[in-house]
A and B are shown apart, each in its own frame.
Chain A
Amino acid sequence: MEQDQRIIVGVYHLSKTFGRHFSLHDINLQVANGEFVFLVGPSGAGKSTLLRMVYMDDFPSSGQVVVGPYVSTRMKRSTIPELRRKVGIVFQDFRLLDDQTVFENVALALKVAGVGLGDIKHQVTDILMRVGLYHKRYDFPHELSGGEQQRVAIARAVANRPSVLLADEPTGNLDPVVTKSILELLFKINAGGTAVLMATHDLDLVKSFGQRIIYLEGGRVVKDKDMIFVGDLREKLADSRVSEKADRLEDHDITGEGGRRR
């Protein structure tokens, strides 16, 4: 299926069944390039399952998922690694490698893409500076706080400059203060032009930001707002606290692609 160039993630009539049980039912949603979307719903609503379909760890029973040029129904297994380099993924449990340093954890994403050693050193240094963990580059994950570990995971997820970042309850294990700082980091990344799709069960946490929220319940989309194209984002958020934050953070633009924004 061809889709609007401005849409980075498109989900069309997606259903997923496990056995006879419906997990997701006729899901339709699109995320625009550079958009920040919260996917909110109680545990078991199907948020994680939906995200797994987007990074194609699993495939729909019917319907399809389109991520940039990748279409789930036409996907070859050998193309999945290519997709994964254009989709950053962050989880509640961080999924860092315990026997590798912060630097090595982030470098892994670049290594699997075949980036040269010199470039890896350069880029990882750059990313770690931006997430504020350069001074801990030789630490192992168990020496870091939960918030720091999640920052490493985020650094790894954006190392290949993905066009969309998927975050599955990224703040689920963190206290409110750290949660806020992680959200700020995600906004900062978004301000650099990367679309973010963040799943969370915590509506109270996210409703104050004025971002688009998609509500998922019992495997169905129960409420959604219109897509926000990047150009509209400024106007819509002109007076919200978030945009101030985004402006403030623009100087430290995470992906170095800030100039692309309007």
Chain B
Amino acid sequence: MNLNAFRYVIDESMTMISRRKAGNAISIVIMGLSLLILGVFLLVTINVQAVIDRASEEMRVYVYLKDGTPAAASRDIQMKLLALKGVEEVVFVSRDEALSTFRQTLGDNKDMLGALESNPLPDAYRLKIKTEYIRSEYMEKLAGDVGKWPGIEEVRYGEQWLARGERLVKGFYVTDLAIGLIIFFSVIFVIANTVRLTVLSRQKTIEVAKLVGATNAYIRIPFLVEGALQGAVAALLAVGLLAVIHLFAKRYLPGVLFMRGEAVSGFVLFCALLGALGSYGAMRRFLKV
């Protein structure tokens, strides 16, 4: 197909689309609303993930030393901790430091500590874990291994919290995937249906075009363009509505995130591809070329 033919094909696509405004508008609204549902779930997921990421970022593992561990042994432990993969930073927190921090945390209630004759807190190492290693399995293994070392009293981290956060995010992803799949098929179905109607309304044009020597591409491309455009416009509609929802949500939850620019363009592009795919499927069934 040369450049001229390509231009005619695009002209043809535009004519075809403009002739079926009502039908196209209805499918676009249906698809836009379906995609909006997916968008809302994606947005919630993004935000939950962001909250959990931020919390993980601040998560620390405390390795408490047994009372009376000699300084040399303590330094040994520090070196061993630093050598563990996934550990980014090891900070020594002396018992005195821990106590004064504790005191500050208590604030007005610090008098309670006056009852203490001696400092009950142990020396500890505070570990910062590399973000990509903050996962339940890794943390559990780390805590278990280090806990068995000589001179270690106990290893603590927000184990329950971490596991729950992970379950939550996983749940959201599974939901997104399920909804995404349903919407994927519904979008393909809606597009296939509009394209089927277009094919029926253009049967004679197609027949005549074939008679005078139109290639399959010449006949098919307008339908692919129609499907892709519908998908893209529906995606833009969904993103627009999502932005409105986001605006309202922000009043109550400042700091709520929106999809990033790349994600939006990716989404639109994906929906355009989906549209073309639905169109292609419909043509294979209804267009005998």
Enumerate chain A interface residues (CB-CB to B < 8 A).
55, 77-78, 81-85, 89, 95-97, 108-109, 111-117, 156-157, 159-160
Taking CB as reference atom, which chain B residue is nearest A159?
A: B212
Report Cα–Cα, A108/B31, bound state, in Å.
34
For A159, list chain B residues within 8 Å (CB).
212
When A97-B204, A97-B208 are in contact, do A81 and B4 touch as well, CB less than 8 Å? no
**Top 9 nearest A-B pairs by Cβ distance?**
A84-B213, A114-B5, A85-B213, A112-B214, A109-B212, A114-B2, A111-B8, A81-B215, A81-B213
Name the one of B4, B8, B210, B216 contacting A84, with C-beta atoms under 8 angstroms.
B210
CB-CB under 8 A for A160 and B213, given A95-B208, A111-B8, A112-B218: yes
Kindly name the residue among B207, B211, B212 whose own CB sees the greatest number of chain A CB atoms within 10 A: B212
Give the B interface residue count (CB, 8 A): 19
Q: Known A78-B216, A81-B215, A97-B204; judge A112-B209 contact (CB<8 A).
A: yes
In Å, the complex CA distance between A213 and B209 comes to: 31
CB-CB < 8 A to B4: which residues of A?
111, 114-117
Whether B205 is near chain A, meaning CB under 8 Å from some CB there, is: yes
Indicate whether B263 reaches chain A with its CB closer than 8 angstroms: no
Residue from the set A78, A82, A108, A112 with the largest chain B CB neighbour count within 10 Å: A112
With a cutoff of 8 Å between Cβ atoms, the chain A residues found around residue B1 in the complex are 114
Chain A residues contacting B215 (CB-CB under 8 Å) are 78, 81, 112
Contact check, B213 vs A95: say whether CB atoms are below 8 A apart.
no
Which of B208, B210, B211, B215 has the largest number of chain A CB atoms within 10 A? B211
What CA separation (Å) do A211 and B82 show in the bound complex? 102
With the chains together, A115 CA to B213 CA distance in Å?
13
| Bound Cα distance A116, B3 (Å) | 9
Known contacts A78-B216, A114-B4; A97/B205 CB under 8 A: yes
| Interface 1/0 per residue, B1-26 and A, CB below 8 Å | 11111001000000000000000000
CA gap between A83 and B215 in the complex, in Å: 11
Interface core residue of B208, B215, B218 (most chain A CB under 10 Å) = B208
A-B pairs with beta carbons under 8 Å apart, 22 shown: A55-B211, A81-B214, A81-B216, A81-B218, A83-B213, A85-B212, A89-B212, A95-B207, A97-B208, A108-B209, A111-B4, A111-B5, A111-B8, A112-B209, A114-B2, A114-B8, A116-B4, A156-B212, A157-B212, A159-B212, A160-B212, A160-B213
